[in-house]
Amino acid sequence: MVFGKKYMDEYLDKRGFKAVVNEVEHLAATPNLGDFFPFLGVIDLQGLTRRLKDLSKVFDEFLEKIIDEHVQSRDQKQSKDFVDTMLDIMQSGEAEFQFDRSHIKAILFEMLIAAIGTSPSAIEWILTELLRHPHVMKKLQKELEQVVGLEKMVKESDLENLNYLDMVVKEGLRLHAVAPVAPHKAMEDCVVNSFHIQIGSRIMITFMLFTGIQIFGLNLKSFFPRGCPAMQLAIVLVDLIVAQLRNMISAKHGPYWRNMRKLCTQHLFSNQKINSFQSMRRQQVELMIKSLKNETCDHRVVVDLSAKISSLNADLTCLMVFGKKYMDEDLDKRGFKALVKEVDELAATPNLEDFFPFLGVIDLQGLTHRLKDLSKVFDDFLEKIIDEHVQSGDQKQSKDFVNTMLDIMQSGEAEFQFGRSHIKAILFDMLVAAMGTSATAIEWILTELLRHPHVMKKLQKELEEVVGLERMVKESDLENLNYLDMVVKEGLRLHAVAPLVPHEAMEDCVVNSFHIQNGSRIMINYYAVQRDPNIWPEPEKFLPERFAGSSIDIRGHDFQLLPFGSGRRSCPAMQLAIVLVQLIVAQLVHCFDWELPNGMQPCELDVEEHFGLATSRANHLMAIPTYRLNINA
């Protein structure tokens, strides 16, 4: 149908046609990757890159050859296959856009992979069910005997008279969704199951979650499409960055993860360790306030709040992890933040999101190249940092994460073999997990405060009462700022930083009367849970007062609000993250009055989301600050 002739297995490649197509599909949905966070790495991925590059080349040459053959034999044919039809379109110029050989190759590739993968799966599943249910098989055979008879085979024209066959096929497709999760985009504002869906939002239609059931309903909005088969490709790409690293976030539950996790919680995220960075945090936050004040200095200046917050967060992270700030150029001439952002963007590369799992491999070489490049940059950078720390030895008073881990390595106190590669893996985890998340949470909370000036005023009033206008906020004030606590909770509820989190069932269990088999992959849809109208009245609204007098907390005990997850895989840095978010929001709101630029009304401020590791704002948050304290910053 596509090429006008059958291709022998060896024509595409010595491995065989079907084997190569299967390999593409397999790479797109490599199952071991589904367990992980978007930014998390898997070991031994470079093999995948090589296979993808290799496959891409094989297909390109094959399709070029087929198009050439068709160009040569064109006028001799009576019936036109897909290639002829597309060559006609190319030559007639009737396409409404520039349509050339590369478009033909792309479409052929999609046809091939989509067609070869899907229909046989459906047929295979339906036959499986028929074998599992002999009475259905019998009933279908009976219908066939009556309609077709035993004297001839089935013709296409018989199909419309085969009602039971129709039911069997429908039921097979229902039970075994061939493409279980399909990405779509809302073309107009609409309401589905009482969720308001904005025009342009990305929606994941979940036909089944990997267990064969739908646990939390529709995965709405622009989540990182982890449930989506196409996302597997995105994950493959990001995983390549940490290909040589064996990090914690991506590790499966088991002794390796347990050891790494224990090491991090005991040494990096203990209360004592978090407190040891308190004065560093104070200095950095005050520096930002000072620079904002100097920048605006009695004029009304629009500042890029998103950039300020992300820069402060990057500095705080570098100081805590590496013991010094890294200038933008230290990691690479492209700049530190730009590179971390690139990791994030590659994880959610938009051209892949639009496709089905099996599509898009064609344009992978550019991405692969960028990933390999990034992987090397990060590795060199981390090696350099460890070397610097080894050289400067014991001269330091306060220990950053690298010192702490070198101590562990040298003392041999880790319960497992702990070497440089483990240090690099943890450092990478910390960088990626810390850079995007806290800054995103702060950005969303400030967005909501700007959209709700009465909440901003009420928070400022609390700050005036508890802290006063004669000084800045200190970390020790935080426990007395109850309204701040409600504002932060509500911000984290409405804007789940990590909206969709994958887990794996470690034993057979039953959830909401769904049986979940041991080993099944389950997507926890925090976004849907935190906006569930059955739990939260007016879930789409920003209403901090909903927490007044409520005992619901955000530390993983109350399952309706889990911004940091729950249980043994919950965020190990939760305590630190809460302090950071509360302190920075409080300081910015306490030190400045904020106004939107160009006379924009609060309700006009957009809440469009950017698809990435953390679901941040799509557009930078811009606002005009006016200093309001009675002391000089």
State in angstroms the smallest separation of the CB of 565 from ligand HEM.
Answer: 3
Task: Give the residue with the Cβ less far from ligand HEM, 282 or 503.
Answer: 503
8 Å CB contact between 24 and 113: yes
State in angstroms the smallest separation of the CB of 434 from ligand HEM.
Answer: 4
State in angstroms the smallest separation of the CB of 578 from ligand HEM.
Answer: 7
Q: Does 239 bind ligand HEM (CB under 6 A)?
A: no
Task: Give the residue with the Cβ less far from ligand HEM, 261 or 370.
Answer: 261
Q: Which residues pair with 522 in a beta bridge?
A: 503
**φ and ψ at 593, to 5 degrees?**
-90, 145
CA distance 292 to 591: 10
Task: Give the residue with the Cβ less far from ligand HEM, 260 or 596.
Answer: 260
8 Å CB contact between 544 and 519: no
Task: Give the residue with the Cβ less far from ligand HEM, 516 or 577.
Answer: 577
Q: Which residues pair with 203 in a beta bridge?
A: 184
Q: Does 615 bind ligand HEM (CB under 6 A)?
A: no
Task: Give the residue with the Cβ less far from ligand HEM, 74 or 325.
Answer: 325
State in angstroms the smallest separation of the CB of 264 from ligand HEM.
Answer: 6
8 Å CB contact between 230 and 33: no
- In this structure, how many other beta carbons lie within 10 angstroms of the beta carbon of residue 606? 13
Give helix 574-591 / helix 278-296 axis angle, nearest 10°.
30
Tokens describing residue 193: 């199951």
Q: Does 67 bind ligand HEM (CB under 6 A)?
A: no
CA distance 301 to 552: 39
State in angstroms the smallest separation of the CB of 40 from ligand HEM.
Answer: 8
Q: Does 253 bind ligand HEM (CB under 6 A)?
A: no
CA distance 372 to 241: 6
Task: Give the residue with the Cβ less far from ligand HEM, 109 or 527.
Answer: 527
Annotated ligand binding at 571? The verdict is yes
8 Å CB contact between 230 and 183: yes
Task: Give the residue with the Cβ less far from ligand HEM, 3 or 36.
Answer: 36
DSSP state letter for 49: H
Q: Does 448 bind ligand HEM (CB under 6 A)?
A: no
Task: Give the residue with the Cβ less far from ligand HEM, 86 or 577.
Answer: 577
Alpha helices in 246-364 (DSSP H): 255-267, 271-276, 278-296, 305-322, 328-331, 336-347, 350-353
| Coil, strand or helix at 192 | strand
Site string for ligand HEM, 560-599 (x = CB under 6 A): ---xxx---xxxxx--xx---x------------------
8 Å CB contact between 40 and 247: yes
Q: Does 313 bind ligand HEM (CB under 6 A)?
A: no
State in angstroms the smallest separation of the CB of 316 from ligand HEM.
Answer: 9
28, 162, 230, 249: residue in contact with ligand HEM (rule CB under 6 A):
249
Task: Give the residue with the Cβ less far from ligand HEM, 63 or 497.
Answer: 497
State in angstroms the smallest separation of the CB of 545 from ligand HEM.
Answer: 22
Nearest to 460 by CA among 451, 473, 447, 442: 473
State in angstroms the smallest separation of the CB of 429 from ligand HEM.
Answer: 5
Site string for ligand HEM, 478-517 (x = CB under 6 A): -------------------xx--x----------------
CA distance 361 to 122: 23
State in angstroms the smallest separation of the CB of 422 from ligand HEM.
Answer: 13
203, 441, 466, 579: residue in contact with ligand HEM (rule CB under 6 A):
441
Q: Does 521 bind ligand HEM (CB under 6 A)?
A: no
Span interacting with ligand HEM, options 125-133, 141-149, 378-386, 557-565, rule CB under 6 A: 557-565
State in angstroms the smallest separation of the CB of 182 from ligand HEM.
Answer: 25
State in angstroms the smallest separation of the CB of 615 from ligand HEM.
Answer: 10
Q: Does 278 bind ligand HEM (CB under 6 A)?
A: no
Span interacting with ligand HEM, options 75-83, 133-141, 176-184, 558-566, rule CB under 6 A: 558-566
Task: Give the residue with the Cβ less far from ligand HEM, 70 or 308.
Answer: 308
- C-alpha distance from residue 60 to each of 53, 109, 358, 364 (Å): 11, 9, 15, 12
Tabulate helix, strand, coil % of the chain (nearest 5): 60, 10, 35
Within positions 399 to 438, which residues make up the interface with ligand HEM, using CB under 6 A?
Answer: 429-430, 433-434, 437-438
Alpha helices in 518-594 (DSSP H): 526-530, 574-591
Within positions 141 to 170, which residues make up the interface with ligand HEM, using CB under 6 A?
Answer: none
CA distance 118 to 177: 10
Q: Does 374 bind ligand HEM (CB under 6 A)?
A: no
CA distance 255 to 590: 46
Tokens describing residue 234: 């995105």
Task: Give the residue with the Cβ less far from ligand HEM, 357 or 436.
Answer: 436
Task: Give the residue with the Cβ less far from ligand HEM, 234 or 439.
Answer: 439
Alpha helices in 481-571 (DSSP H): 482-494, 526-530
Task: Give the residue with the Cβ less far from ligand HEM, 343 or 498.
Answer: 498
State in angstroms the smallest separation of the CB of 455 from ligand HEM.
Answer: 19
51, 74, 261, 325: residue in contact with ligand HEM (rule CB under 6 A):
261
Nearest to 402 by CA among 436, 428, 380, 370: 428
- In this structure, how many other beta carbons lie within 10 angstroms of the beta carbon of residue 447? 22
Closest residue to ligand HEM in the complex (CB) = 565
Phi-psi region of 253 (alpha: psi -120 to 50; beta: other; left: phi over 0): beta
Burial zone of 566 (CB within 10 Å; 0-12 exposed, 13-18 middle, 19+ buried): middle
State in angstroms the smallest separation of the CB of 564 from ligand HEM.
Answer: 5
List binding-site positions for heme: 571
List binding-site positions: 571
Residues contributing to the site for ligand HEM (CB under 6 A): 248-249, 261, 429-430, 433-434, 437-438, 441, 497-498, 501, 563-565, 569-573, 576-577, 581
